[in-house]
A and B are shown apart, each in its own frame.
Chain A
Amino acid sequence: MSKDQSEIWTKPTVSASTYGNTVASVQNIRAAMQKNCKMTSMRYLLAFCLMLLWATVAAAQTGNEPVCIQCHDADMMKPAFRKIPAEWRQSWHHQNGVSCHDCHGGDPTDAAMAMSPQRGFVGTPKYQGVPEFCGKCHVGILKNYIESGHGKALKASGSGPNCVTCHGAHDIQKANIDIINEQRCSQCHTYERAGIMKQALFATERKIRDIENALKKLSSQGMYTAEEDKTLFRTEAEFRTLFHTVDVSLVKEKTDGFDKQLDGLRKKTDSLFAELESRKSFTGLLTLLFAGAGVVVYLLAKTYR
């Protein structure tokens, strides 16, 4: 884990202090405003207009983002915390509507209560607590991870790899087989065993990608593939949990089952492509028929001239 990452995951109190600073700033502003009670009505109006303008611009810029982003984007935030919104916006979580409060709790609509434990704010987990933190949603993966060599190492020594080690914290990308690579794995152990597992997963992973691309293509051609998308998502999610066992023999054993499911999906996509081709041929034939009829009618009309 990099130094920056460990800082983020082990110092939750910094966010709270920043929050405290923000509250203090607001209180100072309020006090200053009370002192200036002699402000003329024109000034009040001007201040109100400026606030309205600021609120409009802020609302336009933030859209539906949680209030957490407003503070984390602010200049007063420490650089390590300030880069979080940008990382999150690039992440797979962001693409799928997973926001700050989904992991960290709190109230994403109320700046004052955003980090309140009463609203379920849990802050940042300790290094050893990360698997349970992510496992709130990724239940199946947590189970396999805990039983794996990685999970056991973390439990025994407190320093084994956790979720963040391989996937990152806020810049999480869609999981794929390339996460298993020599550079990453050899930080802790030799790559040999990981390489064998990657090879075992490779063919299935390629099938998943092929079917995913085929479904995208079908969808762009007007075929509704929601059922197939769901089946692929389910199969892929189950396949992902298998990664986390870090057990080569188990991966080899179970890969056949996944391959069968994927072959079923492949047959379905192939039949949909065949259907599209037959539709194309049929309408192509109709085009030729009407174009031919048009030529006949044109020649016939010419004879009447």
Chain B
Amino acid sequence: MWKYVKNWIEIRIGLSELIRTHLTGYLVPANLNIFHTLGFVALVGFIVQVITGILLLTYYVPQPDHAFKSVQNIMVNVPYGWLFRLMHVVGSNLIVIAVGGHMLSVFFMNSYKKPRELTWFAGASMLLITLAFCLSGYLLPWSQLSYWATTIVTNLPSALPYLGALAVTCLQGGQNVSGVTLGRFFALHVVVLPLLLLALVSVHLFLVRRIGISSPPFGRAGEKKPWTAFRHEDHPGGTPFFPHFVLKEAYMVMVFFALLFLILTFAPTLFLPEDANMPADPFKTPAHIKPEWYFLAPYQMLKLVPNKFAGVSLQIIMTLVFLFWPFLDTNKEDNLLKRRVLFAGFVAVFIGWVVLTVWGKYS
């Protein structure tokens, strides 16, 4: 029976050839490490978000009068609703870590260099989309935390001349965060951003497969051939993508899920402080409202820069530099350890980010 089914599929889509070309016969560098699996881990994380998101969507009501109650209903009355909501909340934070880690490793291994500039751009855009997902999803529970954190963030563009006020009105749909904002953020979160992400993931995966996985610069023998024309980067002495690398990815996915459920077991409210458990009250500003941990560094930076316009402009410039970095870094050397200035800059920025995050948390 199994043979019959296999033969039936083989005749129609040439399955064995497909497996040979893209899995068992597809060789990747032998020295790929676990940091190379973080992109796949993030992808699995996104799939978990889609599944849990759809389940939440069946009970969530995107209206100010009902949003908070519907989330509480999910947490208390809906069978296993608490599990799906907490997986969604904690999962979103773990995805930020996975995507951030992936970007860091790509930067550290200089894998963004020619001909992979577009792959970097698509990946960097996905990190920004991930943060936009987090921001838009943050408002949906309509809690004190979500309401006031969104008020702070959506008012940031007001520092920009001419377009600032327009941007704030577009984001909030009025003079302040209201039901209109909730509707807009809901549409962004469940329709616009998923479509954008799907498009970017497709482009990113296409580019990775089309150009080939870059080999880490450390311990690589011989000179690399210059990229004067398009070619797929082959790794003749490499290991098969399946099962070798897939098992590595599967191992990291298990670590991701184990970590996710570990947080759910011992610190389920790690990302849900007390204000997240109180319904939004536009007339009562909480004493110390702070953004999520991944926004703490830019938040603290804005507090430190005395001029709001200068602070926002600085952040926009930094984001643009991050997005277009492969086009700005034209140095041929692809071993970061041999580029002392860039390495020092990388370490300084990383330490600066950690310091600002901790400072923002306890300031």
Contacts and interface: CB of A to CB of B under 8 A. Distances in A.
A57 B178 CA distance: 31
B82 A219 contact: no
Contacts of B251: 294, 297-298, 301
Contacts of B72: 224
B261 A294 contact: no
A280 B265 contact: yes
A282 B87 CA distance: 13
B339 interface: no
Interface in A270-300: 279-280, 282-284, 286-287, 290-291, 293-294, 297-298, 300
Nearest to A219: B277
B243 interface: yes
14 contacts: A219-B274, A220-B269, A221-B268, A222-B75, A223-B76, A224-B75, A282-B83, A290-B254, A291-B254, A293-B254, A294-B255, A301-B243, A301-B244, A304-B244
Interface residues of B, number: 25
Given A290-B254, A294-B258, A301 B277 contact: no
Contacts of A223: 75-76, 277
Interface of A is mostly: helix
Contacts of B274: 219-220
A287 B265 contact: yes
Contact of B254 (A222, A226, A294): A294
Interface string A190-219: 000000000000000000000000000001
Interface of B: 72, 75-76, 82-83, 243-244, 247-248, 250-251, 254-255, 257-258, 261-262, 264-265, 268-269, 272, 274, 277, 279
Query: Which range holds the interface residue count of chain A?
Result: 20 to 34
Contacts of B277: 219, 222-224
Contacts of B75: 222-224
A222 B247 contact: no
B251, B269, B272: most-surrounded residue (chain A CB, <10 A): B251
Contacts of A291: 254, 258
A172 B251 CA distance: 60
